[in-house]
């Protein structure tokens, strides 16, 4: 049974309200808060019955113990401790700690959570009697016919003081459903805070890895430019000896110019990543940042703990927030259902009333009252029933949104698991391509020195080696980035395992 089918079955089970007879009202007053709450009771949705994320077994799920560079997926295991510590980088740990302390988005999310919790506490107060202290003084004139013309009361001054108590008899559970709804909304905000926590930690690690990746690519280009200049000197020497033409020198110079065009975009990417990291850390882009981290200083996690799909639905913040919103929408149906029933209000007051200020606290000035009132909807143009139907529709929409959120989460994890599998293949292919291109370049240079090959062959071999080397660096960096994305898609660290989640 899907969530929406379960919602539909609970909606059909609603009983239609009828005008409450006097006996029912008396019994309701007797049982007080012990009455049943109208509307559906929220039941936590059951995640889809899936034991894995992908249809086929991935290479990373196989035994990776035979290699110290192959990532292995441990399906059914949970991440222990903070997820970013799996990269074994003290620099990353320090950056994440700074982000958690100073990130403005996380601070705003925490304040919003505190606000929602206070709203829930405020709503919870409506379940209890409300006690107020009233005091007043005034001058009163009754009309001549107020007492039927039998007596005339001259204008008088009065004084009054005392407490009043009011209480709404929640025999339908509407007040309790409203409190339940507000607490569910606060729960949704708590999971939104967790999502912000996950985003901040994820962005910190992602930008750190991105900076390391771009720097590695820049270092590669600069090394290639050194080799280009060596080629130019080689060709220039051959030209001076008369063994090659001026065209060969121009070709070597053109190769340097083309390779130089690769640097500005990478430097722009580096600046953009540094600016993004500054923002995550709660700093202005012009602020000083800690030293960049080299990719070699970040350990790629080889063991990847991947929780089961059934567990993912109970740990990803966006899924839990959607579940809480479904809970709130379910409670709203109970509130709308309760509005179709009569409302009973009880009030009482005790105090002193006197015509003279110095006699207000005499025993003879004691006064009290007990009042009960009933308000029952008779005709409202269909407003209350339409509001109830709208609440049911909102609950169904929340149920569908929850299911879609779960499916999208499963799809995201599946994509990243497949991506990591292909990342390993891509890195292996790029490694072989790099080695082959390097060997080809060395042979081309030897042939050129011996006069058996032209400069164009050397430059072609140089371009192939450049592409292979850059491709290897990018493939290696993509592995890191996809690993970070996988941990984020899995919900990061379980709330029960993270020591910083509740204090963040």
Across the range 479-485, mean pLDDT stands at: 94
CATH number of the domain that residue 165 is part of: 2.20.200.10
Q: What is the pLDDT of residue 498?
A: 46
Domain closes at, from 375, 395, 430:
375
Q: What is the pLDDT of residue 76?
A: 87
The answer to whether residues 261 and 245 belong to one domain is: yes
Confidence class for position 60, pLDDT limits 50, 70, 90: confident
pLDDT 10s digits, 13-35:
444 344 333 333 333 343 344 45
Number of domains in the chain: 2
Residues of the domain holding 151: 129-169+342-375
Q: Measured at the alpha carbon of residue 467, what is the angle toward residues 466 and 468, in degrees to the nearest 5?
A: 90
CATH number of the domain that residue 196 is part of: 1.20.1600.10
The answer to whether residues 361 and 431 belong to one domain is: no
Is residue 48 a part of any domain in this protein? Answer: no
Across the range 287-316, mean pLDDT stands at: 90
Higher-pLDDT residue of 498 and 264 is 264
With 0-12 CB in 10 A as exposed, 13-18 as middle and 19+ as buried, what is 246?
A: exposed
Domain closes at, from 375, 400, 425:
375
Q: What is the pLDDT of residue 57?
A: 83
Query: Got the DSSP string for 203-237?
Result: HHHHHHHHHHHHHHHHHHHHHHHHHHHHHHHHHHH
pLDDT 10s digits, 274-287:
999 999 999 999 98
The answer to whether residues 101 and 84 belong to one domain is: yes
Is residue 430 a part of any domain in this protein? Answer: yes
Backbone phi and psi for residue 368, each to the nearest 5 degrees, phi listed first = -150, 160
Q: What is the pLDDT of residue 32?
A: 42
- Residues in contact with 186: Cβ distance below 8 Å, sequence separation at least 6, in sequence order: 113, 116, 117, 119, 120
Confidence class for position 497, pLDDT limits 50, 70, 90: very low
The answer to whether residues 239 and 116 belong to one domain is: yes
Is residue 504 a part of any domain in this protein? Answer: no
**In the predicted model, is pLDDT for residue 108 greater than 60?**
yes
Longest dimension (CA), the chain: 138
Kindly report the average pLDDT of the chain as a whole number.
Answer: 85
Is residue 499 a part of any domain in this protein? Answer: no
Cβ atoms of 315 and 491 closer than 8 Å: yes
pLDDT 10s digits, 232-245:
887 788 788 877 78
Q: What is the pLDDT of residue 494?
A: 55
The answer to whether residues 367 and 425 belong to one domain is: no
Confidence class for position 159, pLDDT limits 50, 70, 90: confident
Cβ atoms of 381 and 396 closer than 8 Å: no
Tokens of 418: 């497949």
**In the predicted model, is pLDDT for residue 261 greater than 70?**
yes
CB neighbours (10 Å) of residue 118?
Answer: 11
Q: What is the pLDDT of residue 68?
A: 61
Please state which of the ranges 235-249, 326-340, 380-394 shows the lowest mean pLDDT: 235-249
Cβ atoms of 352 and 365 closer than 8 Å: yes
Is residue 28 a part of any domain in this protein? Answer: no
Higher-pLDDT residue of 30 and 388 is 388
Q: What is the pLDDT of residue 64?
A: 52
The answer to whether residues 263 and 359 belong to one domain is: no
The answer to whether residues 93 and 215 belong to one domain is: yes
Q: What is the pLDDT of residue 56?
A: 83
The answer to whether residues 225 and 296 belong to one domain is: yes
Is residue 308 a part of any domain in this protein? Answer: yes
The answer to whether residues 242 and 297 belong to one domain is: yes
């Amino acid at each position: 049974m899907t969530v929406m089918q379960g919602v539909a079955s609970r909606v059909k089970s609603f009983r239609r309200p009828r005008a409450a007879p006097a006996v029912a009202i008396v019994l309701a007053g007797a049982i007080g808060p012990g009455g049943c709450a109208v509307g559906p009771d929220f039941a936590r949705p059951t995640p889809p019955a899936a034991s894995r994320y992908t249809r086929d077994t991935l290479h990373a799920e196989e035994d990776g113990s035979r290699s110290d560079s192959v990532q292995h997926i441990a399906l059914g295991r949970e991440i222990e401790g903070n997820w970013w510590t799996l990269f074994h980088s003290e620099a990353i740990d320090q950056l994440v700690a700074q982000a958690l302390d100073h990130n403005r988005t996380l601070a705003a999310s925490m304040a919003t959570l505190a606000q929602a919790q206070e709203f829930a506490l405020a709503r919870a107060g409506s379940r209890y009697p409300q006690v107020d202290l009233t005091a007043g003084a005034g001058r009163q004139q009754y009309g001549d016919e107020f007492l039927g013309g039998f007596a005339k009361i001259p204008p008088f001054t009065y004084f009054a003081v005392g407490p009043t108590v009011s209480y709404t008899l929640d025999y339908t559970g509407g007040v309790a459903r409203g409190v339940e709804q507000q607490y569910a909304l606060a729960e949704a905000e708590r999971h939104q805070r967790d999502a912000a926590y996950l985003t901040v930690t994820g962005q910190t690690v992602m930008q750190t890895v991105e900076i390391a990746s771009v720097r590695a690519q820049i270092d590669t280009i600069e090394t290639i430019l050194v080799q280009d200049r060596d080629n130019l000197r080689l060709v220039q020497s051959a030209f001076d000896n008369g063994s090659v033409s001026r065209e060969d020198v121009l070709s070597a110079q053109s190769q340097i110019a083309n390779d130089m065009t690769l640097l500005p975009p990478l430097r722009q990417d580096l600046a953009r990543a540094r600016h993004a990291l500054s923002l995550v850390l709660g700093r202005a882009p012009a602020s000083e940042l800690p030293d960049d981290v080299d990719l070699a200083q970040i350990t790629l996690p080889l063991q990847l703990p991947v929780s089961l799909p059934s567990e993912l639905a109970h740990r990803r913040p966006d899924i839990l927030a959607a579940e809480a919103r479904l809970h709130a929408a379910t409670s709203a149906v109970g509130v709308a259902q309760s509005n179709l029933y009569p409302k009973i209000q009880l009030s009482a007051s005790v105090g002193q009333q006197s015509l003279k200020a110095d006699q207000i606290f005499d025993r003879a000035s004691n006064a009290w009252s007990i009042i009960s009132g009933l308000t029952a909807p008779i005709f409202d143009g269909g407003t209350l029933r339409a509001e109830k139907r709208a609440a049911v529709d909102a609950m169904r929409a929340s149920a569908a949104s929850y299911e879609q959120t779960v499916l999208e989460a499963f799809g995201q994890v599946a994509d990243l698991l497949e991506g990591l599998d292909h990342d390993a293949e891509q890195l292996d292919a790029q490694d072989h391509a790099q080695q082959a291109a390097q060997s080809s370049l060395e042979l081309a240079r030897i042939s050129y020195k011996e006069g058996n090959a032209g400069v164009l062959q050397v430059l072609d071999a140089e371009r192939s080696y450049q592409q292979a080397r850059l491709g290897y660096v990018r493939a290696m960096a993509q592995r890191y980035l996809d690993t970070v994305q996988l941990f984020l898609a899995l919900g990061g660290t379980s709330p029960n395992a993270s020591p910083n989640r509740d204090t963040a």
